[in-house]
Amino acid sequence: MKEYYEDNEEELASKSIFIIISYLSSFFFKVSPIDPLSPKPEGGISVPSCGEQLIVSSQWPKSFLAALQQNAIQQPRANAITILDEQTKSAQTLTFRKCITRF
């Protein structure tokens, strides 16, 4: 078995450390020059604002599976998923009934 095993762990470790250091140094030490012809930012600095609280109806299902089950019961023959081809024609459709039976 010794003829198939090469003890070069130290060599591999030193190479991997060099690769990691050179990779990280490319992020921290290489600064690209600013293009003088690039567009300059205009206007003020945008900051997020807090709006009003989102009101969610208590009648809505709590999960995707619950919504799928509800629609499968109410309208089982309605299309749940439609796959379009390159000409935006309906290639395949999946009804709610088929979709819920595959879960």
pLDDT tens digits along 51-88 = 888 787 788 888 888 888 888 889 989 988 888 888 88
Kindly report which listed range (14-23, 26-35, 66-75, 82-91) carries the lowest average pLDDT score: 14-23
Q: Confirm whether 81 is domain-assigned.
A: yes
- The answer to whether residue 84 is domain-embedded is yes
Quick one: pLDDT at residue 88?
87
Name the pTM for this structure.
0.41
End-to-end CA, the chain: 51
**Domain tally, the chain:** 1
Within 13 A of 99's CA, how many CA atoms are on the CB side?
23
In a domain, 72, yes or no: yes
Whether the predicted pLDDT of 33 surpasses 80: no
- Which domain range does residue 90 map to? 64-101
Per the model's pLDDT, the better-predicted residue between 57 and 23 turns out to be: 57
